[in-house]
Structure 1
Amino acid sequence: MKIKVLGSSAGGGFPQWNCNCRNCDGVRRGTLKATPRTQSSIAVSDNGTDWLLVNASPDILAQIAATPELQPARRARDSGIAAVLTMDAQIDHVTGLLMLRERDTPLPLHVTDSVWQDLSTGFPVTSILSHYCGIERHRIALDGNALTVPALPRVRIDALPLASKAPPYSPHREAPERGDNIGLVFTDAASGKRAFYAPGLGAIEPHVYEAMSDADLILVDGTLWTDDEMIRLGLSKKTGADMGHLAQTGAGGMIEVLDSIDRPNVRKVLIHINNTNPILVEDGPERRLLAEHGIEVASDGMAFEL
């Protein structure tokens, strides 16, 4: 099983187009040791040819251009993207669907019922694409059974409901539904190795912790260093918890959670990193602290094989 990180930033990318925080200003000026990043997405394959796109970010065209495996190679119009799965209906995870409209067959899309509702109403991507390639919907049932993704016959995919909020444009924004946000476990049939992926994670529920503890690769929410990060910088009135993200530091934070997982040789990688997060500074004290805890920071183009 192969996993490629297409984008490792939170919504807005890094640097964010309208942000003048220390990180964004420093990376633009070249005064900070940091690497630009596109918005969060990964691709998964069991043969290196057919890929499941997990989350379609607004940066999808740049990500395809940077990833030869996803580019046309077999016929006049073609793509290595065999299917798409979106873990929620957030704008930074579904806008890229519109950029795939030139397909000559309906786009296979794996989503939960609540995400399908959001994409049919508050952000009507399904209606828009019906005028172009169309969508072939595959339902993620959250009934405990593995997903069937024909393009990945040798990879078992299990979806886990996560505690979270639907997007602001969702009909059920203030009444969260099971399936608004999911985590994923990918298991390679040959090696038995597992990868856990959750770029948006607001709470460590027992079933989530169990999945993380059993994984050989943990790709998990790295949005904010502190819960009040955005507030202290004067960039938002919301905490990380308000936005559905568990901060790295503090009691019960992501560092503490990952420290408690002692599976041999497990790789612990933070992804979906906000432009304000000091872990983006490669020679900063926060990055050194993560290294002491055996925690890595994802970057675009990072690849794993399990």
Structure 2
Amino acid sequence: MRIRVLGSSAGGGFPQWNCNCSNCKGLRNGTIKAQARTQSSIAISVTGQDWLLVNASPDILKQIAQTPDLQPARAVRDSGIAAVLLMDAQIDHVTGLLMLRERQTPLPLLATPEVLSDLSDGFPITRILSHYCTVAPTELPIDGRTTDIPGLPGVQVQTVALSSKPPPYSPFRGNPRPGDNIGLLLHNPATGAKAFYAPGLAAVTPELLEIMGRCDVILVDGTFWTHDEMQREGLSKKAALDMGHLPQSGPGGMIEQLDKLPKSVRKILIHINNTNPMLVEDSDERAVLTAHGIEVAFDGMEVGL
């Protein structure tokens, strides 16, 4: 089983189109050592031809163009995307569905009932797509049951309800529900290997640590370095946890939590905001992560499972 990182940035990408923070300005000017990144998404495959797309970012067309495996030529019009699974209903994770509207068969779409509800009402993408390819929805359970993926034999997933917030447009923004945001546990039955993916994570519970500790690799929320990062940059009045993201540094932060895991677990941060100083490859923050055995995801990164 292969996991390919299509996009490793948080919403807006890196550099963000309207941002002149030190990171974005430095990348444009070539004065920092860093890589451009598209918005967060991964793809999973057993065969290398048919893929499960996990989150459909606004950058999906660029990501497809940069990933030949997603463009097999088995027919005049063809796609390696066999199904799409959504972790939440955030705009930077679902807007790319609109770019898949020219599909010639209904698009298999897997999400929790809470996410499907937001996408049929507050941000009615599924209703819009009903005028094009249409979607074939599958509700994801959050009770620990294993789900098979339509059209992708050998790919099985389990969902884990996470502490985070639904999108600002959701009527439940101030009253989160289990299922608004999930983590994804992947299992390769051929090798026994497991991976955990959670690009949005506001808290790490003992139960979640136990799940991650049984995995071979984890890809988890790397959005902000500090709790007040956006406030100090003058870019937002909201702090990291206000937006549903656990910062890496500080007491109880992601670094401290990941240090509790067995050394056998490969630890990768993904969904990285353009303001995060760890994007600079020779920064002190990146050196701290390296010292703790934590990697930073990049577009095109591949992980075998």
Interval of TM-score (by shorter of Structure 1 and Structure 2): over 0.9
Partner SS for 1:291? helix
Partner SS for 1:36? coil
User: For 1:186-241, what per-residue CA distance to the aligned partner results, in whole angstroms no more than 9, with x for missing partners?
Assistant: 01001111111000000012332111111111100000000110001111111100
Shift of 1:144: 1.7
* Partner Cα separation in structure 2 for residue 166 and residue 172 of structure 1: 7
* Partner Cα separation in structure 2 for residue 275 and residue 221 of structure 1: 14
Q: Which letter does structure 1 place at the counterpart of 2:138? A: H
What corresponds to 1:218 in structure 2?
Answer: 218
Partner SS for 2:212? helix
What corresponds to 1:277 in structure 2?
Answer: 276
Kept in 2: contact 1:39–1:272 (CA 8 A): yes
Whether 1:267 and 2:266 are equivalent positions in the alignment is yes
What corresponds to 2:161 in structure 1?
Answer: 161
Kept in 2: contact 1:51–1:151 (CA 8 A): no
What corresponds to 2:126 in structure 1?
Answer: 126
* Partner Cα separation in structure 2 for residue 302 and residue 245 of structure 1: 23
User: For 1:50-91, what per-residue CA distance to the aligned partner results, in whole angstroms no more than 9, with x for missing partners?
Assistant: 100000000000000000010131001110000000100000
Partner SS for 1:242? helix
Map 1:64-213; keep pairs closer than 5 Å. Answer: 64-213=64-213
Q: Any runs of at least 4 consecutive aligned residues in structure 1 with deviations exceeding 6 A, and if so which?
A: none
Kept in 2: contact 1:201–1:244 (CA 8 A): yes
Partner SS for 1:64? helix
Kept in 2: contact 1:112–1:179 (CA 8 A): yes
Unmatched tracts of structure 2, length 5 or more: none
* Partner Cα separation in structure 2 for residue 207 and residue 148 of structure 1: 24
* Partner Cα separation in structure 1 for residue 152 and residue 162 of structure 2: 24
Whether 1:296 and 2:279 are equivalent positions in the alignment is no
Tell me how large the CA RMSD over aligned residues is: 0.9
Q: Which letter does structure 2 place at the counterpart of 1:303? A: E
Map 1:19-38; keep pairs closer than 5 Å. Answer: 19-38=19-38
User: For 1:103-134, what per-residue CA distance to the aligned partner results, in whole angstroms no more than 9, with x for missing partners?
Assistant: 00010000101100100011000110000000
Q: Which letter does structure 2 place at the counterpart of 1:260? A: K
Kept in 2: contact 1:214–1:263 (CA 8 A): no
Partner SS for 2:243? coil
Identity %: 66
Shift of 1:143: 2.3
Partner SS for 1:147? strand
Kept in 1: contact 2:148–2:155 (CA 8 A): no
Kept in 1: contact 2:224–2:275 (CA 8 A): yes
* Partner Cα separation in structure 2 for residue 281 and residue 45 of structure 1: 31
Kept in 1: contact 2:82–2:152 (CA 8 A): no
Q: Which letter does structure 1 place at the counterpart of 2:130? A: S
* Partner Cα separation in structure 1 for residue 200 and residue 111 of structure 2: 16
User: For 1:227-276, what per-residue CA distance to the aligned partner results, in whole angstroms no more than 9, with x for missing partners?
Assistant: 11000111111110000000000111111111111142x21100000000
What corresponds to 2:61 in structure 1?
Answer: 61
Unmatched tracts of structure 1, length 5 or more: none
Shift of 1:148: 1.7
Kept in 2: contact 1:196–1:218 (CA 8 A): yes
* Partner Cα separation in structure 2 for residue 2 and residue 227 of structure 1: 33
Q: Which letter does structure 2 place at the counterpart of 1:6? A: L
User: For 1:27-48, what per-residue CA distance to the aligned partner results, in whole angstroms no more than 9, with x for missing partners?
Assistant: 0000111100000000001111
* Partner Cα separation in structure 2 for residue 145 and residue 263 of structure 1: 28
Partner SS for 1:25? helix
Aligned residues: 305
Q: Structure 1 length as normaliser, TM-score?
A: 0.98
Q: Which letter does structure 1 place at the counterpart of 2:275? A: T
